[in-house]
C-alpha cells in the first residue's frame, strides 16, 4: 500500500469557535496543524503518494501544505465543494487513485508504526480500537477478524470496539459510493453484498478531535513524543525540567520555570518569574508576563498574557490580549454542544482576537467566541457568541 487518501474537507462545527476561520485539520497543536502530524506519520510509514480532499477554507491547506515536498510527500488535491459526507468525499477521488489505497481522516492523531502495520493488510479492511466511550463513535461488530457491521453512535454500545475511520480499499469501493453519504454505510452495503471486510485492532495512540476540549487530550498525547530542543535565549536562573522545546528567537527570562513536556514556539518573551507547567503548548510570538502560570493548556500564536494570570486546562486561540490577574482554572463542567451535553473537566475555551481587561475570572467550561471584548473585573460563564461585549 503506497497511496493514501486524506479526508480534510470538513468544517467541524462542534469545534467552534476554533473552526470559524479555519478547517478543523488546520487547528494547531504543539506548533503544527493536526493535518501535518497525519502526513508526517504517513511519510514515516513509507506512504508518500497522498490525495488530499479539501473543501472548507481549502486555501489555508493549499498555502501551508503546498506540493508536499517540504514534508517528504507528493500531494494531489481534490475539492469537495459541498461537505456532504465521507463517502461523497471518497467518491471524488475515483479517477485519481490506484488499485489499492488507504483512507484516513485529516483530524485524527495516529502513530506512524500503526499506519505501517495497517498498510500491510490486504483490502478491504478497517482499523479498529477499544475505547472507554464507544457511544461517541461507530461501534464495530466483528466475528474473529471479520466485520459484520458498523452501528453509528448507538445509545447502548454492545462493544467497546470502534471504527477509527481508517480503511484499506480497492477500487471496488466506488461501486458502493453513489448516493451514499458516509463510509460506514458503504462498508455495511459491501458486507451485505458478500464482500469480506477485515478488522485490524490497534493498541497504538489514536485520538479523534470532535469537541474543543479534545484538543487538550491531543496536545497531551503529542507532547509525550517530543524531542528536547532549546533555541533562543535561556537566561541565568531559569529552571528547565523534563522534555522542553524552545523555538528560535524566544527569550526565557530569569526566575522562570518550564516543566516538560512543553513546547514554546519562536519569537516568544517568557517571564521573568513566569511558570509553564507540564502538558502546555505555546505558539509563536507569545508574551507571557511575570508571575503568570500556565498548565495543561494550548496557547495560540500572537497571544499576550499580562502579569499574575493563572490558566489551566484551557485553550486560548491566536491574537488574544489578556491583561493581568486573569484566572481560568479547570474543573467539572457540562457544556452543551448542539444536542450533546458531555461532562468534562476544562477551563476556558477562547476564540481568536479577544480583548480581556484585568481581574477577569472565568468559570470552568466557559466558551468565549472570537473577537470578544471583556471589561475589567468580570466573571464569565456559559457561552459567549462571537463579537460579544461584556461591560
All cell numbers assigned to 46 = 513509507
Q: For 64-82, what is the mean pLDDT?
A: 90
Q: What does the alpha-carbon distance between residue 300 and residue 316 come to, in Å, rounded to a whole number?
A: 6
Work out whether the CA dihedral 345, 341, 334, 366 comes out positive or negative: positive
Q: Give the count of alpha carbons within 13 A of 361, CB side only.
A: 3
DSSP of 83-136:
---HHHHHHTTTTT--SEEEEEETTEEE-HHHHHHHTTSPSSEEEEEE-S-GGG
pLDDT of 50 > 90? The answer is: yes
CA 41 to chain centre: 14
Cβ atoms 324, 289 nearer than 8 A: yes
- Whether residue 295 has pLDDT greater than 70: yes
Mean of pLDDT values over 214-227: 88
Q: pLDDT value at position 341?
A: 58
CA–CA gap between residue 7 and residue 193 (Å, rounded): 25
Indicate if the alpha-carbon torsion angle 112, 118, 123, 126 is positive or negative. negative
- pLDDT score recorded for residue 336: 67
Of 62-66, 142-146, 327-331, least confident by mean pLDDT is 142-146
Lowest-pLDDT choice from 95-109, 140-154, 264-278, 361-375? 140-154
d(CA 122, CA 169): 8
Whose cell is 462542534? That residue is: 14
Which three cell numbers mark 60?
A: 489555508
β strands within 30-99, DSSP E: 32-33, 49-54, 74-79
| Helix (H) or strand (E) run with residue 305 in it | strand 304-305
Cα separation of 234 and 25, whole Å? 33
How confident is the model over 344-352, as a mean pLDDT? 90
Tally of CA atoms within 13 A in the half-sphere of 150 that contains its CB: 26
Asked if 5 contacts 183 with a C-beta cutoff of 8 angstroms, the reply is no
Question: What is d(CA 284, CA 391) in angstroms, rounded to the nearest whole number?
Answer: 30
Q: Is the pLDDT of residue 340 over 70?
A: no
**Rounded average pLDDT over 99-108:** 90
Could you tell me the pLDDT band of residue 111, with boundaries at 50, 70 and 90?
Answer: confident
User: Residue 286 pLDDT > 70, yes or no?
Assistant: yes
User: What is the predicted pLDDT for the residue at 294?
Assistant: 97
153 pLDDT higher than 90: no
pLDDT bracket for residue 235 (50, 70, 90) = very high
Q: What is the average per-residue pLDDT within 287-303?
A: 96
pLDDT band at 339 (very low <50, low <70, confident <90, very high): low
pLDDT at residue 233 in the model = 92
Q: All 3 cell numbers of residue 39? A: 502526513
Residue matched to cell numbers 461501486: 175
Residues 252-285: tens digit of each pLDDT: 999 999 998 999 999 999 989 999 999 999 999 9
**Length of the chain measured in residues:** 391
Task: Indicate if the pLDDT at residue 342 is higher than 70.
Answer: no
**Rg for the chain, CA atoms, rounded:** 22
Average confidence (pLDDT) over 133-149: 84
Report the range of poorest mean pLDDT among 1-5, 313-317, 340-344.
340-344
Q: What is the pLDDT of residue 133?
A: 80
Query: What's the predicted TM-score (pTM) here?
Result: 0.85
User: Which pLDDT does position 146 carry in this prediction?
Assistant: 84
At 46, is the pLDDT very low, low, confident or very high (cuts 50, 70, 90)?
confident
> Residue 322: is its pLDDT beyond 80?
yes
Q: Tell me: pLDDT of 75 over 80.
A: yes
Q: Which domains does the chain have, with CATH numbers?
A: 3-210 (3.90.550.10), 226-390 (2.160.10.10)
pLDDT exceeds cutoff 90 at 370: yes
Amino acid at each position: 500500500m503506497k497511496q493514501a487518501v486524506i479526508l480534510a474537507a470538513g468544517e467541524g462545527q462542534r469545534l467552534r469557535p476554533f473552526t470559524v476561520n479555519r478547517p478543523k485539520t488546520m487547528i494547531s497543536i504543539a506548533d503544527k496543524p493536526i493535518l501535518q502530524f497525519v502526513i508526517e506519520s504517513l511519510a514515516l510509514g513509507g506512504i508518500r503518494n497522498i490525495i488530499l480532499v479539501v473543501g472548507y477554507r481549502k486555501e489555508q491547506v493549499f498555502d501551508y501544505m503546498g506540493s508536499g515536498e517540504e514534508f517528504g510527500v507528493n500531494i494531489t488535491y481534490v475539492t469537495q465543494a459541498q461537505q456532504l459526507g465521507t463517502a461523497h468525499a471518497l467518491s471524488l477521488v475515483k479517477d485519481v487513485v490506484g488499485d489499492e489505497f488507504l483512507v484516513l481522516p485529516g483530524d485524527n492523531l495516529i502513530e506512524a508504526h500503526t499506519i505501517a502495520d495497517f498498510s500491510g493488510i490486504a483490502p478491504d479492511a478497517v482499523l479498529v480500537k477499544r475505547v472507554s466511550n464507544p457511544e461517541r463513535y461507530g461501534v464495530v461488530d466483528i466475528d474473529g477478524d471479520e466485520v459484520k457491521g458498523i452501528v453509528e453512535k448507538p445509545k447502548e454500545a454492545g462493544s467497546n470496539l470502534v471504527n477509527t475511520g481508517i480503511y484499506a480499499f480497492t477500487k471496488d469501493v466506488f461501486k458502493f459510493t453513489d448516493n451514499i453519504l458516509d463510509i460506514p454505510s458503504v462498508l455495511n452495503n459491501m458486507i451485505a453484498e458478500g464482500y469480506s471486510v477485515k478488522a485490524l485492532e490497534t493498541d497504538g495512540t489514536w485520538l479523534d478531535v470532535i469537541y474543543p476540549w479534545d484538543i487538550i487530550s491531543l496536545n497531551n498525547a503529542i507532547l509525550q513524543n517530543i524531542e528536547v530542543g532549546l533555541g533562543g535565549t535561556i537566561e541565568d536562573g531559569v529552571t528547565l525540567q523534563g522534555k522542553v522545546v524552545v523555538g528560535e528567537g524566544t527569550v526565557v527570562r530569569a526566575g522562570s520555570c518550564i516543566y516538560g513536556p512543553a513546547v514554546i514556539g519562536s519569537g516568544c518573551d517568557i517571564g521573568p518569574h513566569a511558570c509553564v507547567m507540564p502538558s502546555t503548548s505555546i505558539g509563536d510570538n507569545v508574551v507571557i508576563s511575570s508571575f503568570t502560570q500556565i498548565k495543561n493548556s494550548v496557547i495560540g500564536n500572537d497571544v499576550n498574557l499580562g502579569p499574575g494570570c493563572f490558566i489551566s486546562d484551557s485553550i486560548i486561540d491566536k491574537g488574544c490580549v489578556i491583561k493581568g490577574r486573569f484566572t481560568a482554572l479547570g474543573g467539572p463542567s457540562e457544556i452543551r454542544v448542539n444536542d450533546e451535553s458531555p461532562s468534562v473537566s476544562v477551563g476556558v475555551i477562547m476564540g481568536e482576537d479577544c480583548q480581556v481587561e484585568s481581574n477577569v475570572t472565568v468559570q470552568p467550561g466557559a466558551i468565549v467566541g472570537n473577537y470578544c471584548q471583556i471589561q475589567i473585573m468580570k466573571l464569565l460563564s456559559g457561552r459567549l457568541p462571537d463579537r460579544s461585549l461584556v461591560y
